[in-house]
Amino acid sequence: MTIRKTTCPEFSTRYPLLVKNLMNTPLYMYPDDIAMVFRSSEGDYFRLTWRQWHERTCRLANALKALNVKTGDRVAAMCLNHHWHMESIYATICTGAISHPINVRLAPDHIAYTITHAEDKIIFVDRDVLPLAEAVYDRIRDNVEAFIYMSDKKELPETKIRPLYAYEDLIADQPKTFDWPDLDEDTHAVLYYTTGTTGLPKGALYTHRQIYLHSLHLTMTVNTAPRLPDDPPRPNQPVPMMNIPLFHIHAWGSPFFNVLMCSKIVLPGRFTPEGFCELVQTEKVNSTMLVPTMLAMLLEYEKIDDWDLSSLTYVNIGAGALPLGLKQKAEKRFPYMRVGSGYGMTETYDGVIRAAIKRDMAELPREEIDQVMVKTGLAFVPAIDVRVVDEQGCDVPKDNDTIGEIVLRGHWIMEHYYKDPDRTAEAWRDGWFHTGDAARIDSEGYITIVDRITDVIRSGSEMIPTVLLENLTSNADFVLEAMYVGVPDEKWGELPMAIVRLMPGMEATEKDVIEFLNWQGVATGKLAKWMLPVYVAIVDEIPKTSVGKHNKKEVRKKIDSFLAAAKKMQ
C-alpha cells in the first residue's frame, strides 16, 4: 500500500510571518481590556479596547481599499503618536501597502524630498502637524492622490490641501471586519528615512518577516538579565508610554512588540514634562523610552516632585549615549527607577546592542553596576551578529582601548537603501553592514561607542573620542549636557572644544569644567592630559537633531559663534 504524501507549506513549515498575526493574541485573550490611551494637547483622554481598536483598524483598511490602495503603495503619516496613527500603521501594512511615517522634525525641504522620493500615494495628517503639511503642500501636491485628516471630529479644517478626507467620516460606514490577505512574508511593510545629517535622507525598507522576527526576539531578551536584590517587582501587565516618535523607526519597534505583549499602550501625542508626569501618574505607566535630552528635560522640570511617578520602574535610553552622570542624577531623584541604554539606528530597525549585566555581576556594588549599564552593551540580541573591526576588516583586540568600526548582519538589518544602490554598496561591504560608528570592546565583550567615525577629533596624529569626553563631563554635578566638537587649527588639525549646559540653579565656570576633568579624567587615567578641551563654552542651549541627538553638524556650521562664546583654557 502506497501512502501519498501531501504538503501544505503555506500552513506548516512555510507559514508566512506576517504583521497581521501580531494582533491575534490581545484580540483573543483580552478583547475588552484597554489597549490604547491617548492624551491630546488639550488634555482630553481617548481610550480604546483591543476589540474597538481592531474594528477601527478594519474599517480603515476597507476605506484604504476603497481609495484604491494596493500592495506596494506607500501610505505616509505626518502626525504625532496617537491611536489614529497606530490604526493607520496596521491598516496600511496588513493590507500589503507600505507604511511611511514622515519625520515631521526634518527641515521642510527634506520632508518634501522624502515624500516625493517615496512616491507616497496617501498622506495622513493630524491637527498638530497640519501647518507643516500646508507649508510643503505646493511641492508635493502633484504626487499625492489624497490626504486624510486625523481627528475625533468629522468636520474638516479650513485649508488649501485637496483632496482632504475626514478620518472618522471616512471609516464611519465601512465594515468592522476585513479579510487580511496572506501576503508573502518578504513583502515590504515599512519605510523609514534617516535624518539626513550627512546629506539627503536615505530610505530604509523592512519586510513583514523582519518586523515579526524582531518582535519575537525582543520578547526573549526582555527578561534575560538577572534581577538585582533591590529591583522592583516585574508588573503583571506592561504599561509602556510611547514617547519616541513613530517616525523614528516606529518608536524602536514598540507598536509591534507591545501589541504582541498585550500591553496597555499609552500615547502622549507631543512630549512635555508635565504631560509625561500626568500620564505616568494617571495610567500607572511602568516603562518608557526616552532619548537623553528628554531625560534631561524631566530633571529640569521644576514641578516634578508634585507627581506620583512611583509606578515607573524602567526607562530605556537610546538615540544617543547615556552619560553616567545623567543616569545617576535620574536614579538619585527616582530611586525606584532603573535606567539602561542600548544601540541601534534607522538601518537596524531597533536596538542591536543592549546594556545588561551578567549573572556573576548581580551582587556587585551599585556603583560598579552603573558603570556597566552606561556602556553601549553586549551583542546578545538573538539573530544579530556584531563585530568591531579595523580598517582591514579584522576584529580589534578586546582590550577596551583599540578603536574600530561596528559592523552588523542579521535578520532585521536593512537590506538596501530605497532607490539608492550607490549608498547601499558603500554601506554593505564584505557581507557586513558598516555602521560608521567607532567603538572599542573589552574582555567581557562589552562594547562602548566612542564616536561617529566622522566626529572623532583628529588632533595631530591622535584621535580624541568625543563620547568619552561628553560622558565624563556629564558626571559633574553642575552639568546637565555636554557636547564636544573639533575646532580647526593650522598646527594640530583640530583642537577639542567643550560646549556645556549647566544644571538648573547651578553656577559654574569654564575653569570648573577643566578642574573636574583633571580630577575625574586625567588623575584617574581615563583621559590623557592632551585630550582636555582647549576651549570651553557654557551655553543656554545645545543644538539638537530631529530625534533629539546633539547636532554636531549644526555646531560646525556656526563654529565661529560658539568660539566667540567660549573661553580658551590653554
Q: What is the pLDDT averaged over residues 246-257?
A: 88
Per-residue pLDDT tens over the stretch 68-121: 999 999 999 999 999 999 999 999 999 999 999 999 888 788 899 999 999 999
Under the banding of pLDDT at 50, 70 and 90, the label for residue 319 is low
Are 228 and 336 in contact by the 8 Å Cβ rule? The answer is: no
In residues, how long is the chain?
570
Go through the domains of the chain in sequence order and give each one's CATH number.
51-207 (3.40.50.12780), 224-381 (3.40.50.12780), 383-454 (2.30.38.10), 457-568 (3.30.300.30)
Tell me how far apart the terminal alpha carbons of the chain are, to the nearest angstrom: 93
Rounded to whole angstroms, what are the CA distances from 499 to 477, 481, 544? 16, 8, 13
Q: What is the pLDDT averaged over residues 191-214?
A: 86
Residue from 319, 344, 354 nearest 412 by CA: 344
Under the banding of pLDDT at 50, 70 and 90, the label for residue 131 is very high
* CA 544/CA 92 separation, integer angstroms: 31
Q: At what angle do helices 466-474 and 510-517 cross, to 10 degrees?
A: 110
- SS3 (DSSP) at 166: strand
Check whether 5 has a pLDDT greater than 80: no
More confident residue, 366 or 246: 246
The per-residue pLDDT for 318 is 72
The per-residue pLDDT for 47 is 97
The residue type of 73 is D
Considering only 50-54, 211-215, 279-283, 321-325, which range has the smallest mean pLDDT?
A: 321-325
The per-residue pLDDT for 33 is 97
The per-residue pLDDT for 196 is 63
Per-residue pLDDT tens over the stretch 352-388: 888 888 888 888 888 888 888 888 888 888 889 999 9
Q: What is the pLDDT averaged over residues 43-56?
A: 96
Under the banding of pLDDT at 50, 70 and 90, the label for residue 463 is low
Are 403 and 442 in contact by the 8 Å Cβ rule? The answer is: no
Please report, rounded to a whole number, the percentage of residues in the chain having pLDDT higher than 90. Answer: 50
The per-residue pLDDT for 3 is 47
The per-residue pLDDT for 547 is 61
Question: 26 exposed, middle or buried (CB, 10 Å; 0-12, 13-18, 19+)?
Answer: buried
Q: What is the pLDDT averaged over residues 303-323?
A: 82
Mean pLDDT rounded to a whole number for the chain = 88
Are 269 and 246 in contact by the 8 Å Cβ rule? The answer is: no
What pTM does this model have? 0.81
More confident residue, 18 or 297: 18
Under the banding of pLDDT at 50, 70 and 90, the label for residue 198 is low
Rounded to whole angstroms, what are the CA distances from 11 to 7, 8, 96, 182, 212? 9, 6, 19, 11, 17
The per-residue pLDDT for 141 is 93
Q: Which among 285-299, 414-428, 481-495 has the top mean pLDDT?
A: 414-428
The per-residue pLDDT for 65 is 97
Check whether 534 has a pLDDT greater than 50: yes
DSSP 58-124: HHHHHHHHHTT--TT-EEEEE--BSHHHHHHHHHHHHTT-EEEE--TTS-HHHHHHHHHHHTEEEEE
Q: What is the pLDDT averaged over residues 271-292?
A: 92
More confident residue, 178 or 541: 178
The per-residue pLDDT for 4 is 47
Per-residue pLDDT tens over the stretch 330-350: 887 777 777 777 788 889 988
Are 69 and 121 in contact by the 8 Å Cβ rule? The answer is: yes
Per-residue pLDDT tens over the stretch 222-233: 666 677 777 777
**Cell 539638537 found at:** 544
The per-residue pLDDT for 395 is 96
List own/partner pairs for 112-116 with CB under 8 A and 24 or more apart. 112/136, 112/139, 112/140, 113/200, 113/201, 114/193, 114/201, 114/203, 115/76, 115/140, 115/143, 115/144, 116/140, 116/143
Taken in order 465, 468, 470, 473, is the CA torsion positive or negative? negative
Check whether 219 has a pLDDT greater than 60: yes
According to DSSP, the residues that pair with 37 across neighbouring strands are: 47, 266
More confident residue, 4 or 540: 540
Check whether 213 has a pLDDT greater than 80: yes
The per-residue pLDDT for 512 is 93
The per-residue pLDDT for 1 is 43
Q: With b meaning 16 or more CB within 10 Å and e meaning fewer, what string describes 81-117?
A: bbbbbbbbbbbbbbbbbbbbbbbbbbeeebbbbbbeb
Q: What is the pLDDT averaged over residues 525-538?
A: 83
The per-residue pLDDT for 48 is 98
